Chain A
Amino acid sequence: MDSLMTFLEMGGYARFVWPAYGLVAVVTIGLLLVSLRTLRSRERALTMLQEQSPGRRGRRRDK
């Protein structure tokens, strides 16, 4: 337990080291999730549009 506390204290610099790591985690994971969500919603929108115009269906090469 003591060693965990020492680790978390970061030699007295905990309030600089942990926010730096936390911020990087939040921004990178956030960026990934936002990018994935945009991709999914655009994929859905494209599928819907293609179903509305049946003439285009035959050309769906990359699905």
Chain B
Amino acid sequence: MQRLANPAQFLRLSKQLQPWLAAASVLLIGAGLYFALLVSPADYQQGQTVRIMYVHVPSAWLGMVGYSTMALASAVGLIWKHPLADLVAKAAAPIGASFTFLCLATGSLWGKPMWGTWWAWDARLTSMLILLFLYLGYMALQSAFDDPSRGARASAILALAGFINVPVIKFSVDWWKTLHQPASLLKVSGPAIHPAMLTPLLLMVTGFTCFFVVVLLIRVRSEIIASKIRAIRLTQIHGTREEPLADHAVG
């Protein structure tokens, strides 16, 4: 962890990991699609619409993983003032927001034929919509400051305050009456789902998670470079020889 905190080390490791993660993601999602669309059976109640589950559940998972990554990185950034942590939080936000949007959109396409409605103001759906707004608010707040470190601080506080929503989403199906079905995978008693559907679901969830990490690494690299560019431009303007932000962050 300490070594990862050094941006130069991080860049080296992320370049080594990236091709493996990308290959794993392609293979897992490829196999997942094969099982999800061709091998797995239709649901006895939901018919073929159950196949939407194989993209809906990974999207929901990554919407929450994205937010947890962002909140954890924000906490590290706030407490230890670590510049790389701020960049990780910033890089995670658009990815998590995209998956949260996909979760809501695929859920809507699943809800119409099965529940008879595109949308309902119920606990699970509403808390997921709040998650999307938290992401959007986070990104807006971050870009509202000229000084990136002040923007990172303000948005880190928002990310942490909003983290309370993540357990609310997870347990919303148990706490309130809702249209949404209860958890099938992450249960104390183990997954309540037939292996024929569990296989494609797990393949898709792990494949999408690899994809998430690949895009996260790309975006963190991109943010590190942006902060170097900013540092060089500042040096040119002020004529001093400041070290770039990302270079002296050895923890």
Contact = CB atoms under 8 A, between A and B. Distances in A.
Interface of A: 7, 10-13, 16-17, 19-21, 23-24, 27-28, 31-32, 35-36, 38-39, 42-43, 45-46, 49-50, 53, 55-56, 59, 61-62
A10 B222 contact: no
Given A17-B52, A21-B55, A53 B236 contact: yes
Contact of B11 (A12, A31, A62): A62
Contacts of A28: 98, 102, 208, 211
Interface in B149-205: none
Nearest to B246: A62
Contacts of A11: 42, 47-48
B98 A19 contact: no
B225 interface: yes
Given A23-B106, A53-B236, A13 B222 contact: no
Given A20-B55, A39-B222, A53-B236, A62 B48 contact: no
A31 B215 contact: yes
Interface of B: 7-8, 11-12, 37-38, 42, 47-49, 51-52, 55-56, 59, 94-95, 98, 101-102, 105-106, 109-110, 112-113, 208, 211, 214-215, 218-219, 221-222, 225-226, 228-229, 232-233, 235-236, 241, 247
A13 B113 contact: yes
Given A16-B112, A53-B232, A24 B47 contact: no
Nearest to A38: B222
Per DSSP, are chain B's interface residues mostly helix, strand or loop, or mixed?
A: helix
- Among B7, B48, B56, residue most surrounded by chain A Cβ atoms (within 10 Å): B48
B218 A36 contact: yes
A39 B223 CA distance: 8
10 contacts: A10-B49, A12-B47, A16-B109, A20-B52, A20-B106, A20-B110, A24-B59, A32-B214, A62-B7, A62-B11
A35 B208 CA distance: 16
Contacts of A20: 52, 55-56, 105-106, 109-110
A7 B38 CA distance: 8
A17 B211 contact: no
B225 A42 contact: yes
